[in-house]
Amino acid sequence: MASSHLLCNHSLFFPPSSKNSHLSITPQTKLQFRRTPFPKASKKQLEIVYDPDERLNKLADEVDKQAPFSRLTLFSPCKINVFLRITNKREDGYHDLASLFHTVSLGDIIKFSLSPSKTKDRLSSNVSGVPLDDRNLIIKALNLYRKKTGSNNFFWVHLDKKVPTGAGLGGGSSNAATALWAANQFNGCIATEKELQEWSSEIGSDIPFFFSHGAAYCTGRGEVVQDIFPPLPLDIPMVLIKPKESCSTAEVYKCLRLDQTSKVDPLALLEKISRNGVSQDVCINDLEPPAFEVLPSLKRLKQRVTAAGRGQYDAVFMSGSGSTIVGIGSPDPPQFVYDDDDYRDVFLSEANFINREENEWYKELTSVTACQPPEASQTLE
């Protein structure tokens, strides 16, 4: 092997004799070796990387040259209803409510990029089952913004979905508010936050809340938002538990009986929470009985969480119209959700209350952990 290496990497060089035209080799002949230089490696390296978004990124780079900025990534938090009173049924078929809404640290990530298109938005998501056309509140919000302002900006949007749907957490409403905020940033903030809040009520009752600073006393259909100072410490831990099944909001309201709702003054609940904090007696949700009628297993879940977490949670209640059960006071779910096969598909997430600063959007807390089954990705061309 040594000789093979020598022959492959070196050439023999014999000094020419001045006396003879031919060369003779004797034992005394001194051999000299000249190293044959290897070809120098080219500085240009060919790297092949599969990137399905490469074409889009190149187009976005072109847009970058034409705009002050063309990409924006925002956190889209969900909310819980610390209490939810239903006070009246209106002539238009909706119900009046009075509720303490509060944003929490579980949320989606939405990436916005300016599109060179002047005809349509493009929406993609990491989960299946999310509508990617104008049924989605993100697209509705972008259409609404263009209608109100005359803007001709269209967008590529990617929704990294972490908030479960049909959960009573306002995930879709938050996405819409985030899209309105993003569109306004791309257009130099030509609309005020108050205008964005007022416009948003045209496409959803819960959307205006997200233009508060994170805590609000909401009335009407939910669109009348009174921004308040956070009545609870932001570092209170909680766990969110959502079964695989969801509640239809329409079905829940259909089963609602106003004569069986709580008669406690919602302002008294707000005052008590501000003064004494969270307890089971103030976390009233008038939609729990009809939701439990629509989904009996949800009532059983709340009962088991309450029993298993006795002393662990300050309060256990349902958020919105369901089907998420909230346990405030501990980030840890009860052990039975791990041990019982009936709950192997349950969604779990720890959370904290959050708010946002003036003229800024919500920021993600990096400590939040959520657990849910992975889904296939979808893209709308």
Mark whether 186 and 249 lie in a shared domain: yes
Report yes or no on 47 lying in a domain. Answer: no
Which two tokens mark 9?
A: 């990497």
Kindly indicate the confidence band of residue 161, based on its pLDDT and cuts at 50, 70 and 90: very high
Mark whether 28 and 64 lie in a shared domain: no
Structural domain count of the chain: 2
Report yes or no on 315 lying in a domain. Answer: yes
Q: What is the pLDDT of residue 51?
A: 54
Mark whether 137 and 22 lie in a shared domain: no
What pLDDT digit, counting tens, does each position of 111-143 carry?
999 999 999 999 999 999 899 999 999 999 999
The span from the first CA to the last CA of the chain, in angstroms, equals 60
CATH of the domain at 205: 3.30.230.10
User: Strands 154-160, 122-125: parallel, antiparallel or unpaired by DSSP?
Assistant: parallel
238 close to 205: Cβ distance less than 8 angstroms: no
Of 192-206, 255-269, 365-379, minimum mean pLDDT range: 365-379
**Strand runs (DSSP E) across 21-132, as ranges?**
32-35, 71-89, 95-115, 122-125
Cα–Cα distance measured from residue 290 to residue 297, given in angstroms and rounded to the nearest whole number:
13
Mark whether 15 and 116 lie in a shared domain: no
100 close to 81: Cβ distance less than 8 angstroms: yes
Kindly indicate the confidence band of residue 309, based on its pLDDT and cuts at 50, 70 and 90: confident
Mark whether 211 and 355 lie in a shared domain: yes
Mark whether 19 and 60 lie in a shared domain: no
Mark whether 66 and 97 lie in a shared domain: yes
Report yes or no on 286 lying in a domain. Answer: yes
Question: What 8-state DSSP symbol labels residue 21?
Answer: S
Report yes or no on 208 lying in a domain. Answer: yes
Mark whether 157 and 255 lie in a shared domain: yes
Mark whether 135 and 10 lie in a shared domain: no
Cα–Cα distance measured from residue 174 to residue 205, given in angstroms and rounded to the nearest whole number:
11
Q: What is the pLDDT of residue 311?
A: 83
Mark whether 64 and 91 lie in a shared domain: yes
Report yes or no on 196 lying in a domain. Answer: yes
174 burial via Cβ count (<10 Å: 0-12, 13-18, 19+): buried
Which residues does the annotation mark as catalytic? 79, 206
The answer to whether the predicted template modeling score (pTM) of the entire model surpasses 0.85 is: no
Per-residue pLDDT for 157 more than 90?
A: yes
Mark whether 63 and 30 lie in a shared domain: no
Report yes or no on 287 lying in a domain. Answer: yes
Range of the domain at 183: 54-373
Report yes or no on 42 lying in a domain. Answer: no
Q: What is the pLDDT of residue 67?
A: 54
Mark whether 14 and 116 lie in a shared domain: no
Report yes or no on 45 lying in a domain. Answer: no
